[in-house]
Amino acid sequence: MLPVLQNDSRCVVLAPMEDVSDSPFRQMCRNMGADLVYTEFISSEAMIRDSDASRHKMAFEESERPLGIQIFGGREEAMHGAARVAEANNPDLIDINFGCPVYKVVKKNAGSACLRDLGMMERMAGTVVDATHLPVTVKTRLGWDDKTIRIREVALMLQSAGIRSLTVHARTRSQGYKGEARWEYFKYLKDTPGLHIPVIANGDILTPQDARYLFEETGVDGVMIGRAAIGYPWIFRDIHHYMDTGELLPPPSLEERMKMCAEQLRASVDHHGERYGVIMMKKHYGNYLKGIRNGKKLRMEIMEKDRMDDIIELLMNFSEEPSGTVVAV
């Protein structure tokens, strides 16, 4: 059984992130110890139209397994069709996005919009479950706003609809990504009478210590890592090692960072083509170069380049500079 579907598996999962969680990045995170990866979220409307973009986002390599395809949408018919399309691509599971707070998604009654209409959420979840033989999971938020936090009710409802695992971002839709994630709700949720499906924690999990706290103090069954993995795929290795030994690993060396960054860039260009592959990497450079003396200067130089070879030359030459040393952060 997939770790994300097991209680107390203590799995460490890569979050689905738009324009970040592409195939090259997912492969890198799996190699670094991610127990499960998700595609970036894909529009159900685009999937049933068989758009080039949706096909590209669904593409994955066998080495990425276990992998889930995440879908979103505001129409039951489209979500049913999207589930069938996703199933035909043979992932290990399908995830429904009931949490995206972005206006362009919410205005289509998708993402976190369903937190305003739990009946619609229930129907949507049931529609997807009925459309596929694959396990179906959900990612959502605490509520629409502070007045509508009904996460226990939501969890039990989704469990009854056939959802096999629930990931919760510990903010409301009205919070967006502001303020601190409210981790106290994870224990509250795990203590829900009658709730048996695994609960995966998401939101502000930035260090191995954060993951350990959530496992030990709230009882969650897994953690989902988002921003902390961007430009730092070692986070999965670090968390697993800390959970197994209680020991914090030293940060990767400058040479390791430069090599990993170049490897991801090559894979990105192979997957997307040079123009878009170079663009897709731009969100990762900041963290790859974090804590490195003269790293900001290097990042500015990289951002001006549009050819892979030029960027790799900068990375490799920088690794030979005496001033390019990793410092504690």
| Three-class secondary structure of residue 279 per DSSP | helix
pLDDT at site 3 = 84
The reply to whether 159 sits in an annotated binding site is no
Q: What is the DSSP string of 175-239?
A: TTT-S---THHHHHHHT-TT--S-EEEESS--SHHHHHHIIIII--SEEEE-GGGTT-TTHHHHH
The reply to whether 169 sits in an annotated binding site is yes
Active-site entry in 11, 100, 114, 261: 100
| Helices assigned H by DSSP within the chain | 23-31, 44-48, 52-58, 76-88, 103-106, 118-131, 151-161, 184-190, 208-213, 235-245, 254-272, 274-280, 282-288, 295-303, 308-318
The reply to whether 226 sits in an annotated binding site is yes
Residues 236-273: tens digit of each pLDDT: 999 999 999 999 999 999 999 999 999 999 999 999 99
Closest by CA to 115, choosing from 140, 139, 95, 138, is: 140
For the chain, domains (ranges, CATH) are 3-245 (3.20.20.70), 254-318 (1.10.1200)
Residues 159-174: tens digit of each pLDDT: 999 999 999 999 999 9
- Is the model's pLDDT at 205 over the cut of 80? yes
pLDDT at site 167 = 99
The reply to whether 227 sits in an annotated binding site is yes
| Three-class secondary structure of residue 138 per DSSP | strand
For residue 73, what is the DSSP state?
-
- Is the model's pLDDT at 15 over the cut of 50? yes
How far is Cα 289 from Cα 269, in angstroms, rounded to an integer? Answer: 20
Contact (Cβ atoms closer than 8 angstroms) between residue 7 and residue 196: yes
pLDDT at site 315 = 94
How far is Cα 171 from Cα 122, in angstroms, rounded to an integer? Answer: 21
Q: Identify whether 29 is a catalytic site residue.
A: no
Binning pLDDT at 50, 70 and 90, where does residue 319 land? low
Contacts of 157 (CB under 8 A, 6+ apart): 118, 121, 122
Residues 49-96: tens digit of each pLDDT: 999 999 999 999 999 999 999 999 999 999 999 999 999 999 999 999
The reply to whether 175 sits in an annotated binding site is no
Average pLDDT on 288-312 reads: 94
Binning pLDDT at 50, 70 and 90, where does residue 45 land? very high
pLDDT at site 325 = 46
How far is Cα 117 from Cα 180, in angstroms, rounded to an integer? Answer: 25
Contacts of 276 (CB under 8 A, 6+ apart): none
Phi then psi for 82, rounded to 5 degrees? -65, -35
The CA-CA-CA angle for residues 170, 173, 177, to 5°, reads 65
Binning pLDDT at 50, 70 and 90, where does residue 320 land? very low
How far is Cα 51 from Cα 205, in angstroms, rounded to an integer? Answer: 34
- Structural Rg of the chain based on CA atoms: 20
For residue 33, what is the DSSP state?
T
pLDDT at site 1 = 81
How far is Cα 118 from Cα 122, in angstroms, rounded to an integer? Answer: 6
pLDDT at site 322 = 54
How far is Cα 202 from Cα 186, in angstroms, rounded to an integer? Answer: 10
* The pair of three-digit structure tokens given for residue 269, joined into one six-digit string: 């260009």
pLDDT at site 91 = 98
Average pLDDT on 289-317 reads: 94
Residues in the chain: 329
End-to-end CA distance of the chain: 38
Residues 110-146: tens digit of each pLDDT: 999 999 999 999 999 999 999 999 999 999 999 999 9
